[in-house]
Homo-oligomer: A and B are copies of this chain.
Amino acid sequence: MSSFAHRHLLGIEHLTRDDILTLLDEAEGWAAFNRRARKQDQRLAGLTQFNIFFENSTRTLFSFEVAGKRLGAIVANFHAAGSSVQKGETLIDTALTLDAMRPDVMVIRHSETGAAAEVAAAVGCAVVNAGDGTGEHPTQALLDALTMRRRKGRIEGLKVAICGDIRHSRVAGSNMRLLPKLGAELRIVAPPALLPDDSRGLPAFTDLDEGIDGVDVVMMLRIQRERMEASVSGPLDDFHARYGLTRDRLRRAAPDAIVMHPGPMNRGVEIASDVADDRDRSAILEQVEMGVAVRMAVLDVLTRDRRD
């Protein structure tokens, strides 16, 4: 059924177009499943999923927890804050210790780029990267792609602009890898200070109006307050004036363009409230919904060979 041959999901970098399509197709099935009255599958019954979060991210953790439980897995959350990690234990010692409890899959969030890959090299179970430093956040890019495909019917040929703090964003990092593999026409938009060193050959804009001109998808990123101040020379309001997505500005995009945001939103900063709340244009809540579906697909696919 599945052509997905990877043991871990560490980043979009390692996936082929077929791998990605397999995950999106599987996730589509889980999206339908999650709209049923009873949402309980048992294919992961007796398998153990550890969510190991070294950074706070309640919403991503929650999404993985719900995904695992709906598949019947035993799910346990390891909150690294206040744990042995704070007693000076190394990442690998923590990972090996938890691996000795014989989980089948570990979901890892860490502030250092490469942390999930480092863990994957050391442990015996499947590892899912739930965000590593400024590296990748592959399930976010997958849920973004699934949302686009559902809203626009395709990804091939779609004009997509990712706007905001591209430089520090692992969401952008994974999307910049995924979307070109599926044939989207991607461009990035940011203040000069927040453009990445390597724009991976993508068209880069520093003017938001130009950057979103004619696009089908405007993907706004969350901006950190401290980076906002550094990214424009002037008072805070300047950021919204120059890089905030308003209804007016959205008219530059295609007439049926959709708006995306990985959340949580700073209303009035990177996105105006009326844009966020426009049910026709905003796909933000569908992104969250697809997040659970994508994570169910990933957990299912990565544990298949352990269940036989």
Contacts and interface: CB of A to CB of B under 8 A. Distances in A.
Contacts of A306: 37
Interface size class of A (residues with CB under 8 A): 35 or more
Interface stretch (A21-29, A63-71, A149-157, A230-238): A63-71
A220 to B, nearest CB: 14
A202 interface: no
A264 B87 contact: yes
A55 to B, nearest CB: 10
B292 A101 contact: yes
Given A40-B74, A58-B83, A87-B264, A102 B69 contact: no
B70 A83 contact: no
Contacts of A36: 46
Name, among A88, A267, A306, the residue most crowded by chain B CB atoms within 10 Å (CB to CB).
Answer: A88
Contacts of A97: 59, 263-264, 285, 288
Nearest to A286: B100
Interface in A80-122: 80-84, 87-90, 93-94, 96-102
A76 B84 contact: no
